[in-house]
């Protein structure tokens, strides 16, 4: 069973709840909020997800309207590789080539069906390593 951290702001709340209900095979979700559609600040949810992914060596999902805010926040952490994915192919490449460890979904720009497929693809796709590992190792700043 994989444990995956998840968080969203108000714009991503409904999609987060749907993913929690639908994408559950072999997954235990740790829900860091938001817990309603009431307006909130996306960093309040992106920080705990990024910290938990780092501390526990697992993967995560962040959802907001455009996915930009949560991705920018999560990517402040050394060791986090948060990727904004709006198609299955981008999710696949983010994992295969970039070893992304947080999937960021733009809730206002994908359908529920697309988000489910993107999420499944992201978590089913392994990192290829090889020449990509050399590149990924150069991402961090000193």
Identify whether 125 is part of a domain.
yes
pLDDT of residue 38: 97
CA distance 117 to 130: 27
> Which residues form the catalytic set?
64, 97
- Is residue 112 one of the residues assigned to a domain? yes
Q: Residue 110 domain-assigned?
A: yes
Contact partners, residue 129, CB within 8 Å, separation at least 6: none
Examine residue 86 and state whether it is found in any structural domain, yes or no.
yes
- CATH no. for residue 78? 3.40.1400.10
Instruction: State the pLDDT at residue 18.
Output: 96
The number of folded domains in the chain is 1
* pLDDT for the residue numbered 130: 84
Q: Is residue 43 part of a domain?
A: yes
Q: Give the per-residue pLDDT at 23.
A: 86
**Does residue 103 sit within a domain?**
yes
What is the spatial distance between Cα 101 and Cα 53, in angstroms, rounded to a whole number? 8
Whether 65 and 106 have beta carbons less than 8 Å apart is answered as: yes
Residue 87 lies in a domain: yes
Q: What is the pTM of this model?
A: 0.96
- Structural domain including 14 reads 2-136
Tens-digit pLDDT string for the chain (142 aa): 699 999 999 999 999 999 999 988 889 999 999 999 999 999 999 999 999 999 999 999 999 999 999 999 999 999 999 999 999 999 999 999 999 999 999 999 999 999 999 999 999 999 988 889 888 888 887 6
141 within some domain: no
Query: How high is the pLDDT of residue 131?
Result: 85
Q: What is the pLDDT of residue 97?
A: 97
Report how far residue 33's alpha carbon sits from residue 54's, in angstroms, rounded to the nearest whole number: 18
């Amino acid at each position: 069973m994989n444990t995956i951290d998840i968080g969203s702001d108000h714009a991503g709340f409904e999609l987060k709840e749907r993913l929690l209900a639908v994408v559950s095979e072999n997954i235990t979700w740790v829900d860091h909020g938001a817990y309603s559609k009431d307006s909130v600040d996306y960093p309040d949810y992106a920080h705990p997800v990024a910290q938990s992914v780092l501390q526990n060596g697992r993967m995560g999902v962040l959802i907001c309207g455009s996915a930009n805010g949560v991705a920018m926040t999560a990517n402040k952490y050394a060791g986090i590789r948060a990727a904004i994915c709006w198609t299955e192919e981008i999710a696949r490449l983010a994992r295969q080539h970039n070893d992304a460890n947080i999937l960021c979904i733009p809730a206002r720009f994908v359908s529920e069906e697309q988000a489910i497929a993107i999420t499944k693809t992201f978590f089913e796709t392994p990192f290829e390593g090889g020449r990509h590992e050399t590149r990924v190792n150069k991402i961090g700043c000193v």
